[in-house]
Amino acid sequence: MTSRARTAVILCTCSGIIAERIDWEKVQKLLAGHPTRPVFRVDQLACGADNLEQLETWLKEEKPERVVVAACSPRDHEATFRRLLIGAGINPYFLQMVNVREQVAWVTADPVQATAKSARLLSAALDRVQRQEPLVARKVPLRTEVAIIGAGPAGMQAALTLARAGRKVTLIEKEPFIGGLPVRYEELFPNLECGPCLLEPVMGELLHGHESEYVDLLTLAEVTAVKGTFGNWTLTVKQRPRFINPDLCIGCMACAAVCPEHRPHAWNAAGELAAVDAPFAGALPNFPHIDPAVCLKLKGEECNACLVECPVEGSLAFDDNARQITIEVGAIIVATGALEKQDVPAAFAGLADVHTGYSFERLLAMNGPTSGEILKADGTPPQSVAIVHCAGSLDTNEISYCSGTCCRAALKYAHITAAKVAGVELTRLVREQVVPGLDADSQLHHDHSAVSRYSGLGALSVDGVGAERRIVCQDNGQAIAAEMIVLMRPVVPGAGTSKIAEVLELDTNAGGFLAQLHSLSASCASNMKGIYLAGTSRGPGDIREAFSSGTAAAGLALSELVDGRDLVVDPQVAVVDVMRCSGCGTCLQVCPYKAISWNARDRIADVADILCRGCGTCVAACPSGAITGQGFSRAMLRAEIGGVLS
């Protein structure tokens, strides 16, 4: 141990502000007998450019092994003085700052006390700095490619933003088609803008635009395993076969027209889809997809209906196989989206003409099951429509939060229904109404539906059938005409979101959405460095948020992974002493960043310095004292304790 390392002490007057309360002459006298025999230099303004030059010269002459700077808060100028040490050829972690401006001069009225306190703090710093170790920031080469999981608006926007910057992107989508949910919506709130018109140019650019050469799109693909850390991730992707050769297929859908087999039409939440088909006109990429569980030929039966009809030989690829693909990237953007809660509450279960938001959207869409007409199951238009807001939201028995988007969707449904069904009796049952946004108020102002307030789903029951059907509300005794019912169900994490949380070991919040590093200031970062979040994987949101968070997540990836710039790992991290680690695993439990992993071979804990943020929680928790918090080691802090109490 170098307990008597030669130490230089810079005493800053901060242009006289510090010197008003602290007598540096007196402090020097009080510390003259300190065992480290420090050399002092009083400086008028140590952070000034000229002063720093002079200080560098002085340090080069004095050749100290340690430096203490008594000046302002380290939160202000620690980095400045670390650079000073580097310039003087001294390891920057041999610096200790004493905050005599904010925490002594400015808060201690009596100069005698301020001077004494400064001497005590300096004495502690002199003791501490002896224990400090030279640290070197490790440099790690980074990959700049990015994997984006989910090709809804958020994922597509992130992909395009990165591609425009010349970044290689792999866009991984579990469905056979891209665009997420809103591409299936005819009109979007608040301005009834056409959904496909908004998204098709984006999808077109992604698939065929100038930047498409940077984008590798994998449909029918899911990430099954991830290894690595920030800057160097290896993803294993399983891609299911489409049974279509995308290089040959022209997307004419002649195959779909002749296919004898059908499956339930999940995209429309109604009707059927041929075994070889695309779910709706305009679905991209413009190829059909064969469901191997339904296709006769793939089940080994005799059928060549589509092959006979297909105008381009080889387009139908019945020998297509599942693939396992390995992708190496520097960052991952998760944009796996959200869904409307699928189950129908008990009071409405099994009833005819009960829709959720999603199935009603498809009813409104020109490419949906009724070609955009609002029709009941019997093919006739309803005489009355009741839209139930908060159907399961803000409800401690079901989903406690407000999804924040359903009211605007409900107002849109009311508006479109009134326009499409002449003379329809429209009622909105509301608990709360949430209509945020600069242009959403017009939705409320243009709404002419009757509004009835109810307290919760428990207060509602359904009575009668057909045109006589009513929703009876216990709260006010009203019977609301409800030949067709639209339930605004809560927004919950998509299946892909829960799955990816498991694969990537991401934390989730109470709602099951992916936890954000900070809900206000870092909402597009996960708590895992190098994994960013976009869209509704983070929580319910609208399309505007999907686009903006996609751009934001891409921005994070761009700023943290720069071509030719290595990752500089802050050396003030936790380090495990392999000889002392007992393998109890306590540290694995307390690390908030999953920076500590279990080394099964040696039965000890391993800290990934790239992921460690240097909080020191594990250092304090280790029962064996086997972890050192570099820069804030036990020896340093104990020396400081001894110093301030001397």
Partner 1 sequence: MSCQSYSTTHPTNPTNNVDAIAGVAVKVVAFLCNWCSYAGADKAGANQLPVPAELTAIRVMCSGRVEPTMILECFQKGADGVLVLACHPGDCHYKEGNLRAYCRAELLERLVPQLGVDPRRFRFDYVSAAEADRFSQITNEFVDQVRALAVRPFKN
- Interacting residues toward partner 1 by CB under 8 A: 1, 3, 29-35, 73-75, 99, 101-103, 105-110, 112-117, 119-121, 123-124, 126-127, 130, 527, 572, 590, 592-593, 613-617, 619-621, 629, 632, 634-635, 637-646
HEC sequence for 192-218: CEEHHHHHHHHHHHHHHCHHHHHEEEE
**Looking at beta carbons only, is 229 or 516 nearer to partner 1?**
516
What whole-number distance in Å separates Cα of residue 171 and Cα of residue 471?
45
By beta-carbon proximity to partner 1, the closer residue of 394 and 615 is 615
Q: The tokens 């992993």 sit on which residue?
A: 597
Distance CA 30, CA 27 (A): 5
User: Looking up tokens 């381009």, which residue turns up?
Assistant: 312
* 103 φ/ψ sector (left φ>0, alpha ψ -120 to 50, else beta): alpha
| Cβ distance to partner 1 smaller for residue 115 or 549 | 115
For residue 313, the Cα-to-chain-centroid distance in whole angstroms is: 44
Which of 34, 376 has the CB closer to partner 1?
34
Check: CB of residue 606 under 8 Å from CB of residue 596: yes
Cβ nearer to partner 1, comparing 127 with 186: 127
- Dist CA 305 CA 73 (whole Å): 78
| Other beta carbons within 10 Å of 210 | 9
Task: Name 301's Cβ contacts closer than 8 Å, sequence gap at least 6.
Answer: none
Q: Is 262 helix (H, G, I), strand (E, B) or coil?
A: strand
The type of residue at 161 is T
Backbone angle region of 267, left / alpha / beta, with phi > 0 → left and psi within -120 to 50 → alpha? alpha
Rg (CA), the chain: 33
Nearer of residues 232 and 617 to partner 1, judged by Cβ? 617
- Least distance in angstroms from the C-beta of 641 to partner 1: 6
- Give 270 or 644: the residue with its C-beta nearer to partner 1: 644
Shortest distance, CB of residue 545 to partner 1, whole angstroms? 23
| Exposed / middle / buried, residue 8 (Cβ in 10 Å: 0-12, 13-18, 19+) | buried
Q: Cβ of residue 62: shortest distance to partner 1, in angstroms?
A: 22
The smaller minimum CB distance to partner 1, of residues 484 and 608, is found at 608
| Omega of the bond leading into 190 within 30 degrees of 0 (cis) | yes
Nearer to partner 1, 127 or 340 (CB): 127
- The 8-class DSSP code of residue 172 comes to E
Could you give the CA distance from residue 175 to residue 339 in angstroms, rounded to a whole number?
14
Give the three-state DSSP class for 283.
coil
Judge if the upstream peptide bond of residue 285 is cis by omega within 30 degrees of 0: yes
Q: How far is the CB of 399 from partner 1 (least distance, A)?
A: 22
Residue 56 CB, shortest distance to partner 1, in Å, is 26
At its nearest, how many Å lie between partner 1 and the CB of residue 573?
10
Q: What is the 8-class DSSP label of residue 489?
A: P
If the CB atoms of residues 270 and 635 are measured against partner 1, the closer one turns out to be 635
Structure tokens at 477: 């005794």
Cβ closest to partner 1, residue 30 vs residue 558: 30
For 298, the token pair is 């793939």
Give which of 155, 326, 151, 334 is closest to 225, Cα–Cα. Answer: 326
| DSSP class of 101 | I
Cβ–Cβ under 8 Å, residues 111 and 21:
yes
CB atoms within 10 A of CB 337: 26
Q: At which residue do the structure tokens 């297909």 appear?
A: 310
DSSP state of 16: T
- Closest approach of partner 1 to the CB of residue 510, in Å: 13
Rounded distance between C-alpha atoms, residue 143 and residue 212, angstroms: 20
User: Of 27 and 199, which has the nearer Cβ to partner 1?
Assistant: 27
Instruction: Output the smallest distance, CB 491 to partner 1, in A.
Output: 24
d(CA 90, CA 464): 86
Name the minimum Å distance from CB 11 to partner 1.
Answer: 15
Which residue do the tokens 């989508």 mark? 173
- Strand-pair partners of 611: none
Handedness of CA 609, 611, 613, 615 (dihedral sign): negative
Q: What's the CA gap between 315 and 419, in Å, rounded? A: 43
3-class DSSP assignment, residue 413: helix
Alpha carbons 468 and 218: distance in angstroms, whole number: 50
Cβ atoms of 206 and 218 closer than 8 Å: no
Toward partner 1, which CB reaches closer, 35 or 134? Answer: 35
Amino acid at 589: Q
